[in-house]
Amino acid sequence: MTADAPQRSRALVVGEALVDVVERPDGSREEIAGGSPANVAVGLARLGRRADLLTWLAPDAHGALVRRHLEGSGVRVLAGDRSPVRTPVATARLDAQGAATYEFDLEWDLPDAWDEDADAPLVVHTGSIGAVLRPGGPRVAELLDGRRATSTVTYDPNLRPALMGSAEDVRPVVERLVRTADVVKVSDEDLAWLLPGVAPAEIAEEWSRSGPALVVVTHGGEGAFACTDAGARLQVAAPHVRVADTVGAGDSFMAGLVDGLWSAGLLGADRRDALHEIDAATAEHVLARCVRIAALTVSRHGANPPTAAELDDPSLLAAVLADAPDGGPA
């Protein structure tokens, strides 16, 4: 693990936290805390990292539920001077294979001021709704611009077409954030909607030439592809497990990506050149760990990423592998 000074050993995650109302095929219904950036913050905290979340929660029952969940995993929710009238809600309807479709009832903004330590975070992450939906989305972009001088910037589009409008409207926003970021993780499903008919690897190559040091495309049960600014091209297979559902799988992968680069000593603005020169062996090691994290997440219900201890327990992954007679997507 990299030897950062104590005041630099934290991540700032910016984006939505909300309540996921999960409706299952059997008719059962559950309210759980969610939101892509919030899930990334939880994933980082469970892996032993200090994670602060700048988000937009109301002082209502749903907001209290979200705060309890975040703080229970060790995430610090930054207090702001403004909040919404009600906490955002997303309804996730699961099909027989555990895949989710979403409907949203939310507004998104950032507070004008918030209670944050004076020191700069090592890494700033954003993505999904919080990076696109107005009025907060443009303010998130401005925040990232201001943090590049001190911090690594990571981005996961994690697109929600039902909420964000057309691909033509969203594409310039995504591409602007890609140019700002040092590390981008995106799913093949996101790319198929954003740029239909274009091969994911081709898009990753183009994005890597626009600024990021590392672009990773996840392919569900097929694993992940990555390209680096240094010229490496990597394909990492995913473990096959029985899928409980896919909620939070990409977010847990993203948390693992940040954590892995952190352990490799490649985060922080002063390490930007080193990140751009990441070698293939280091990138492959980080990605192999990411797919294991995602596999453990999809093997259980909800956005429930593993702790560092669970990830390092070979019997846990062996158990979920043994439970998949023919293999399922991770």
- Reduced to 3 states, what is the DSSP secondary structure of residue 297? helix
Residue 8 has pLDDT above 70, yes or no: no
Work out the pLDDT band at 110, boundaries 50, 70, 90: very high
Q: What is the predicted pLDDT for the residue at 301?
A: 84
Task: Write out pLDDT tens, residues 124-145.
Answer: 999 999 999 999 999 999 999 9
CA-closest candidate to residue 111, choices 153, 54, 63, 66? 54
Average pLDDT rounded to a whole number, residues 207-217: 98
- Enter the DSSP assignment of 10: -
Strand order in the sheet with 89-94: 29-34, 18-23, 89-94, 100-105
Beta strands 18-23 and 152-156 are unpaired
C-alpha to C-alpha distance for 100 and 91, rounded to whole angstroms: 9
Amino acid letter, 72: G
Q: Phi, psi (5° rounding) for residue 156? A: -130, 110
Angle 88-93-96 from CA coordinates, rounded to 5°: 160
Average pLDDT rounded to a whole number, residues 181-194: 98
Q: Tell me how many helices (H) and strands (E) the chain has.
A: 12, 13
Amino acid letter, 123: V
Residue 2 has pLDDT above 50, yes or no: no
Does the CA dihedral 181-91-50-140 come out positive or negative? positive
Please check whether residue 228 is in contact with residue 261, taking contact to mean a CB–CB distance below 8 angstroms: no
> Domain boundaries in the chain?
9-322
Strand order in the sheet with 152-156: 76-77, 51-54, 11-14, 123-127, 152-156, 183-187, 214-218, 224-228, 233-236
Pick the CATH number of 9-322 from 3.40.1190.20, 3.50.50.60, 3.40.50.10860, 3.40.1010.10: 3.40.1190.20
Please state the pTM of the whole predicted model.
Answer: 0.92
Q: What is the mean pLDDT of the chain?
A: 92
Residue 4 has pLDDT above 60, yes or no: no
Span of 47-56, 167-176, 225-234, 314-323 with lowest mean pLDDT: 314-323
CA 235 to chain centre: 20
Average pLDDT rounded to a whole number, residues 69-82: 96
Residue 329 has pLDDT above 80, yes or no: no
Helix orientation angle between 167-180 and 136-147, rounded to the nearest 10 degrees: 20
